[in-house]
Structures are given as structure tokens and as C-alpha cells.
Structure 1
Amino acid sequence: MILIIQIIIGLIVAFAIYNLSHYLFVTRPSRKRLLMAQRTVNNAVAEVLKQLVSAQKLAPIREEELHSEMIANIWGRGVMAFEYHLPIDRVKVPISDMKELLADELAKYGDQHKIYARRKKSPAFVITDIWQLDDRLHFDVAYLINLTTVEYIDDLNRLH
């Protein structure tokens, strides 16, 4: 009986140690990298949208109108991709043109700030999708800073 209790206690301790070490060495650093990437992409998108407002492709956007969400929970750990949405009434160009404008401006932003993808001299920020849902324009931006995100983009390209 004592042996069974010791085995059960040992299993509980091993389970607790495993979960603690997984949190400290995998989950927490991964979350930190994702949040750092989100800040970088948020800065890039905010700057690009300011450029598009000054070029009169967008109406002025207040900071609280621009939202970003992590989509790594959907596509898997390590994917540095974020969804943004803003009011559709701010967009003054067709959605297909908007995708090209965003991609071009993000590439310029990356060049100006010397931010490049894992692949040499290719843009670090990629618009993976853009669509309208109800009264909001949604677009996804991938930050090609790691191999997981590059593979995610390759998979998306295979789907198209």
C-alpha cells in the first residue's frame, strides 16, 4: 500500500515538474517572442496606415479603431501572423487595391527600418489575406522572422 502511495506521489510530482519546466522553458519564451513580434508589426502597420492616410487612400483612423489579434492560436505555435481590422468606411480604394498598397508600403517600411525576412532581402511583412466582413476591413499580416512563419506562408501559397 505504501508503495502505491509513493508511486502516485511520484507521478504527481513528476507531472508538476514537467508542467512547470514546460511553462518556464517553452510557453513563456514563446509568448514573449510572439508579443515582441506583435509590437513590431503593430508599429509597422500603424506607420503604413498613416502613410496611406496622407496619400488620401484612407480616411483618418483613430488608434482605438485599429485592432490586432494573434492568429497563432489558430495556425500553431510560433506563427508570427496577426489579424487587423478597421472600419470599412475609412477605406477610399477597392479592397484588391488596398492589399497591394498595404504590401508595398509594408515592404518600404521594412526597407527603411532594415527589417528583412528570414530569407535574404525579401520583405519581412506579408499581407496573407484581406476581406470585408460586415462594416470592417480585415487583413492578416505575417512577420517572416522565423522558419515556422515562412512555412506557414508556403502552405498558404500552396492552397492558392
Structure 2
Amino acid sequence: MKTIIELGVGVLIALTIYNVLHHFLVTLPNQRHQQTVKQVVDQEVRAMLQQFQVTTGPLKLGELDHSEVLDGVWGRGIMVFEYRCALENNPGEEETTQLLASTLEKQARSDGYVTPSGRSRLLVTDCWINQSQLSFDVADLANRATQEYVTDLHRLDN
């Protein structure tokens, strides 16, 4: 009986040590990296949104209301961020998605935010409209996990 108790205490201690090490060596550095990437992506998205705030075209947007990292949804290492802003003109989801995607790609290319192959690192992966609120997701294709996520999304769409 004493051996079973010692074994149980040993397992609890080992699990505690593992969780503490995992938190400080994996979780915190990953969160710091995501926040660093998010700051850069936020700058690109804000610059893109400014073009739709002064335009007289079919899409007119308000200020950025909200941005967040979506790693809790998609898993560690996925660099996908959700953005929300007011929608003043609504040309429809499909046209809005195309306008956002093309404008963000041009913005990222002009700022040199490209992959080694020359593609834009930023990609609008999802876009939806809820009443007068526009929400969209932006992926930073800098790492393999995010690239696989985007590939999986395209498979689901087809």
C-alpha cells in the first residue's frame, strides 16, 4: 500500500513539473511570438482598412473595433487573427471578401511582407457580415502550421 501511495505522489510530482516546464518553455514563448506577429499584422490590416475609410467605392468601413489571436480555436502555432469593424456600405460578402483580399495582398506586398517565393504572407481566410459589423480572419503564412491550416480550409471549401 505504501508503494502505491509513493508511486501516486511521484506521478503527481512528475505531472506538476511537466506542466510548469511546458508552460514556461512552450506556452509563454508561443504567446509572445503570436503577439509580436499580431502587432505587425494589425499594422497591415489598419493600413488596408484606411483605404476603405476614405473611399467612395462599393465598400466603406469604419475603424477597427476588435482584433484577436485565434490560437485557442485552431491550435498552437497557427497565426490566424480575427478582425471586426463597422460596415458602412455593404456590397455583399463575396465582393467584400474579394476587395479585402486583393487590397490586403497589395498592402502586404508594398510593405515587403512576402514569402521567399514572392507571395503575400497575409491572406484573408474568412469573411462574414453580421448586421452592420464586418468580421474577417487574416492568416500570416510565415510558418508551416498556418500554411497547412489554409490548405485544409481550401479543401473544405471545394
| TM-score, structure 1 as length reference | 0.85
Q: 1:126 aligned to 2:127?
A: no
What residue is the counterpart of 1:86 in the other structure?
85
Residue among 103, 110, 113 paired with 2:111: 113
Q: For residue 100 of structure 1, what is the aligned residue in structure 2?
A: 98
Residue in structure 2 matched with residue 156 of structure 1 by the alignment:
153
After superposition, what is the alpha-carbon deviation per residue over 1:107-131, rounded to whole angstroms, capped at 9, x for unaligned?
12212221113x6111111111111
Q: Which range moves more in the overlay, 146-155 or 30-39?
A: 30-39
Query: C-alpha distance in 1, partners of 2:124/2:61?
Result: 21
Local SS of the residue matching 1:62? strand
- Alpha carbons of 1:35 and 1:46: their partners in 2 closer, same or farther (altered >3 Å)? same
The residue number in structure 1 matching 2:67 is: 68
Q: Among all aligned residue pairs of Structure 1 and Structure 2, give the percentage whose two residues are the same amino acid.
A: 32
Rounded Cα–Cα distance in structure 1 between residues aligned with 2:107 and 2:132? 28
Structure (1/2) with the larger strand percentage: 2
Compute the displacement of 1:5 (Å).
Answer: 4.4
Question: Where does structure 2 lack aligned partners over 5 or more consecutive residues?
Answer: none
What SS is found at the alignment partner of 2:7? Answer: helix
After TM superposition, give the deviation of residue 69 of structure 1 in Å.
2.4
After superposition, the C-alpha distances for 1:10-62 in whole angstroms (9 at most, x for unaligned) are: 22221121011111111111111111121111111111011222333454623
- 1:34-45 to 2 correspondences below 5 Å: 34-45=34-45
Structure 2: distance between partners of 1:41 and 1:55: 22
1:139 aligns with 2:136: yes
Aligned length: 156
3-12 or 48-57, which deviates more: 3-12
Query: What secondary structure, in the 3-state scheme, does the structure 2 residue paired with 1:137 have?
Result: strand
- Secondary structure of the residue aligned to 2:62 is coil
CA distance in 2, matches of 1:96, 1:130: 8
The gaps in structure 1 that reach 5 residues or longer are: none
Is this contact kept in 1: 2:63–2:85, CA < 8 A? no
Name the aligned partner's letter for residue 124 of structure 2: I
Report the aligned-residue RMSD. Answer: 2.0
Give yes or no for contact 2:61–2:89 (8 Å, CA) kept in 1. Answer: no
CA distance in 2, matches of 1:60, 1:102: 11
